[in-house]
Structure 1
């Protein structure tokens, strides 16, 4: 599928889990995504242990990408306690790594944050009891506020949101129910009610479901690479998503005026 003159095409994928064994193994994949889209979106767990070596390998593999890259980090990128190393290494090659920030690609606004766990709906963990529980819930609230801050910065008509953790339960279904609370949080959905977007992309749930919706009907896509590989073996393991170009929309609106 080639690029479109009437829309901005995004290729989205998460959970690359790059290790030292990936040297030279992802360039063809990234080239394919780059040729198919106008921008590449990376939804966290870009490395497996968040080491400087893994970040450098990922940066080298991304050299094959000829389009803008926007990313958020995931929990694996924090494993070694130095997520800033992963972030700075990727930013050093021009990747826009969002952590409560927003950017714009060809007229489409993109807001991103890692997100956090905590559960969904009535199963959401409350800040009650031991200090450790309150700290956990506070982290979920902090990430939700960070995500809302990013969404509030968007000034474009068309908008996309990037997360690592899921904001809805529907895209984690397929995973064992016991681990649902660790795969995302309804607290990430709440900002989307105030600042709606065209689409939300996340990863993390390797055995979840490909698609879901927020309570206000916004489409949510789980783009964890292991999930895409397993459920769509006949397609490249990234999700293509088209957003109408602003100039095309303007022409259509003018043409519709009597």
Structure 2
């Protein structure tokens, strides 16, 4: 999992497809919950990179991050991750971030990293809604502040995309960039599950695929208006693997 393991794990050679295992919404909580060690070991055998799409902890507590870091010792491949809304709950996001980065996780927050000739770009994303029903910056200051945060996350994604030099790119989000992958959730909460602003940014670049979580009852697959494949890899969503994680070839 740590940086030194990248040289020991199998690599995609000469532009061949890189296998990426992706899962979101682990919600690691109390110490007495079920262990993910076996699952992390299984994903290490199935892929060359592990991607975690946010809500890594249940309440954003440092102890939960420590438990996850311990569990990730079973992972023998590089790990790329973003945070989710649950990871902000306790106001300890800096501590959670430090714990996971010290454990060797490539925790992306408006940044890009290259592993095995693939660029991994990550931001949390934010709410805002989709298409013509996307929330606009009008009315009360609280609404304008909410829209400004959504725009800011899209801008941070764009800045991170501009850092990529690799020919293949995987975008890692927590919130959804398209409505197709949140379908199955109650209509009333669609605006809180993601934002089309993310898709608008993604479509300005050449992207191999996009993964996100957050929508536990959403659908597995969708596309941006520009045609980029989007996968909802929240562990609760049914996937072609028949397992809680997806395996993508990038």
Structure-2-length-normalised TM-score: 0.92
1:242 aligns with 2:239: no
Offset of 1:113 from its aligned partner?
0.2
Cα distance in structure 2, aligned partners of 1:3 and 1:182:
38
Distance 1:16 1:23 in 2: 11
Instruction: Please state whether the residue corresponding to 1:167 is helix, strand or coil.
Output: coil
Q: Which runs of 5+ in 2 are unaligned?
A: 1-9
Within 5 Å, which residues of 2 pair with 1:40-51?
Answer: 40-51=50-61
Q: Which runs of 5+ in 1 are unaligned?
A: 244-258
C-alpha displacement at 1:3, in angstroms?
Answer: 8.9
In structure 1, the residue matched to 2:179 is: 169
Query: Is contact 2:11-2:116 (8 Å) kept?
Result: no
Report what 2:24 is aligned to.
14
Does residue 1:156 correspond to 2:166, yes or no?
yes
Structure number with bigger Rg:
1
Paired residues in the alignment total 239
In terms of fraction of residues, the more helix-rich structure is 1
Q: Alpha-carbon deviations, 1:36-64, whole Å to 9, x = none? A: 11010000000000001100000000000
Q: Which residue of 2 aligns with 1:140?
A: 150
CA distance 1:22–1:42, shift in 2 (3 Å): farther
Q: Give the 4+ runs in structure 1 shifted more than 3 A.
A: 2-6, 21-24
2:80 is paired with a residue whose SS is strand
5 Å-filtered alignment, 1:1-258, equals 6-21=16-31, 25-228=35-238, 235-243=242-250
Q: 2: distance between equivalents of 1:121 and 1:10?
A: 29
Alpha-carbon offset, residue 206 of structure 1: 0.2
* Alpha-carbon offset, residue 85 of structure 1: 1.3
Separation in 1, partners of 2:76, 2:30: 23
Shift of 1:83: 1.1
What CA RMSD, in Å, does the superposition of the two structures yield over aligned residues?
A: 1.6
In structure 2, distance between residues paired with 1:194 and 1:3: 28
Residues 168 and 24 (structure 1), Cα distance of their counterparts in 2 relative to 1, 3 Å cut:
closer
Measured against aligned partners, the alpha-carbon deviations of 1:216-242 in whole angstroms (never above 9, x if no partner) come to 1110000000113xx66x722111011
